[in-house]
Structure 1
Amino acid sequence: MKLRQIEAFRAVMQAGSTTAAALELHTSQSNVSRLISQLESDTRLVLFERTGGRLIPKPEAKAFFREVERAFVGLKSLTYAADSIRNLGSGRLRIASIPGIGLSFLPRVVQRFKRSRPDVTVSVHTNTSNTVEQWVSSQFCDVGIVAFVSASATCQVLTLPDVEVVCIVPKGHRLAKRTKIAASDLQGEQYISLVHGDGSREDTDRLFEREGVERLLSLEAQYSATCCEMVKLGLGVTLAHPLVATDFVGQGVKVLPFSPSIHYPNYLLYPPHGAVSQLAEEFAALLRDQFEREIVGWKK
């Protein structure tokens, strides 16, 4: 396949005819038809029905067009990045994070970063630790924040301070007057859990099993922030990362220390082989500073 063939195919699909496609591509109708025929030959797909001199897209053409559009989105992204670097001298920063950090804490770091780098385009991507690690390892993202690192990781790994989970209860809950929550205090309580498969869910379940505490487990959510929202609505109690809990202080919940301690490790990832951009280093420095500030605030 040649790029010109793909361009001709895309133009026909968008414009609806070879005549309109030829005008868009500044070429002849016969040349567009020739390029389409070459594409069908190269792909071994019959993309169009020929009826009265018209090209009628077959299902194969529509399926292929979806893939072509995805490819062109990527090309547009590269064009935009080149324009940014040329015109602004700044470029783009791609950040990957686990949801607990990416949905709450990370925007506060981005806010600080944009004050000094207003022209930089910042993209924030959230997913599991494994996926974030893959994104950074492949250099799709410039910096990542994860809760664990695989044994086969190729990224550069920096350790962030450990944090201790906190307990979040509705403001009018019987436990809201406490200064600290023990695992035994949650005996028989409606508990809002993260879904199975999340590493912190497994750690939490093991702790309550060791303590011999039985909770009512009929509510689950994929993200800790969603669990906290449910607590705010009076649906139960939960344990959460303190950086997530920060967003819910003063919103109808009480955030309290919890014992015995459950530690959440956090790691900062850079691409392998020293491929760290200046923008990534600047952002990571702000992230570490913000992280330490907020964690110290919870330990006071």
Structure 2
Amino acid sequence: MNVTLRQLRVFQAVAETRNFSRAGDQIGLTQPAVSRSIVELESQLGLKLLDRTTREVVLTDAGQSLAMRLDRVLDDLDQTLAEIHGMAGARRGKVRVASSPTLSANLIPACIAECARRDPDIDFLLLDRMQQTALDSVRAGEVDFGVLVEPPATDDLHGEAILDDPFCLVMPPDHRLAGRRTVAWSALDGEPLVLLDHASGSRRLIDEALAQHGAHGEVRQQVGHPATVFRMVEQGIGISVMPALAMPPAGLQALVVRPLLPKVQRTIMLVHRRNRAPSPLAQRVWNLIREVAAQRRER
């Protein structure tokens, strides 16, 4: 049945006033428009709802049954729509965001702090997970959106690039390359390496850059967290290629960091399911992260 909300509200007004003209005045329709809506509703239901004479409108048994239930149904609908409409202006609630470790450590804390300052009624909940697990959380709807490293382009995801993050070389201060202001990727050929493992969103990009520039080194260790990489480099196990955002804000006192040329960078993206637009609260957090990333880019 193709019964419309307008037809039901017209019937509700007629059942209440027992008069087509007064019903039209109540809901802002002409008497012919009211009559036409009732005829269309009766046609869709296959039942006569009203007996009309020149002097009065009388509800049939079917009309009485519908009228008795319709008030509650329309009241529930009005309340539901009002609650949903209120979400657009909601100022309080939880927003869940998944992020990969290097971003969780060095971009997201500033975003959480700014959110607490700007929107203290928003509870910004971070799920700190490896890239693929964070991506799975977005797809499963476990989080409102994710902050990820160049997720694969797929039909089920919508992404927005917010920041480019260049790769750099991390090494002990006595390494042969430490005295250079910049280091060519090709200079890494034959060097022992300590790299993030393949669960990281950066590893694929690092491997591609090393291969493209003919830097074939021995990967001695593959680990999941940047802090572990730095400790291994300090112990002389190997040197490392790391994204700039993985560097602690206070720097690496025991290590040397140099830009790698030609510049290769990863793209940081905000990602949500294509068929699930962020809620108004989540959109505010999305916009806030974009702003914080833009400020970092300018610095």
Measured in 2, the distance between the counterparts of 1:222 and 1:200 equals: 11
What does the per-residue CA deviation read over 1:139-188, in whole Å, with 9 as the maximum and x for residues that have no partner?
A: 32112112233444423321223322111222343322211011233233
1:62 aligns to what?
none
2:244 aligns to what?
242
Measured in 2, the distance between the counterparts of 1:253 and 1:193 equals: 15
Measured in 1, the distance between the counterparts of 2:230 and 2:143 equals: 29
State TM-score, norm by structure 1: 0.60
Assess if the C-alpha contact under 8 Å between 2:115 and 2:122 holds in 1.
no
Of the three residues 96, 100, 104, the one matched with 1:102 is 104
1:282 aligns to what?
284
> Equivalent residue of 1:213, what SS?
coil
1:164 aligns to what?
166
> Equivalent residue of 1:265, what SS?
strand
1:9 aligns to what?
none
> Equivalent residue of 1:114, what SS?
helix
1:183 aligns to what?
185
Structure index of larger Rg: 2
1:271, distance to aligned residue in structure 2 (A): 4.2
> Equivalent residue of 1:164, what SS?
strand
> Equivalent residue of 2:245, what SS?
helix
Alignment size in residue pairs:
211
**Letter aligned with residue 231 of structure 1:** V
Assess if the C-alpha contact under 8 Å between 2:205 and 2:266 holds in 1.
no
1:145 aligns to what?
147
Assess if the C-alpha contact under 8 Å between 2:171 and 2:255 holds in 1.
yes
1:119, distance to aligned residue in structure 2 (A): 4.0
Closer, same or farther: CA 199–120 of 1 in aligned 2, 3 Å: closer
1:131 aligns to what?
133
Measured in 1, the distance between the counterparts of 2:181 and 2:252 equals: 16
1:217 equivalent in alignment to 2:219: yes
1:58 aligns to what?
none
Q: Which structure features the higher share of helix residues?
A: 1
1:258, distance to aligned residue in structure 2 (A): 0.2
> Equivalent residue of 1:178, what SS?
coil
Measured in 2, the distance between the counterparts of 1:149 and 1:116 equals: 29
Measured in 1, the distance between the counterparts of 2:182 and 2:239 equals: 14
> Equivalent residue of 1:247, what SS?
coil
1:111 equivalent in alignment to 2:113: yes
Q: What percent of counterpart residues are identical?
A: 24
> Equivalent residue of 1:165, what SS?
strand
**Letter aligned with residue 265 of structure 1:** T
**Letter aligned with residue 251 of structure 1:** Q
Measured in 1, the distance between the counterparts of 2:295 and 2:232 equals: 27
Structure 1, unaligned runs of 5 or more: 1-84
Closer, same or farther: CA 296–255 of 1 in aligned 2, 3 Å: farther
> Equivalent residue of 2:136, what SS?
helix
Closer, same or farther: CA 105–213 of 1 in aligned 2, 3 Å: same
Assess if the C-alpha contact under 8 Å between 1:100 and 1:225 holds in 2.
no
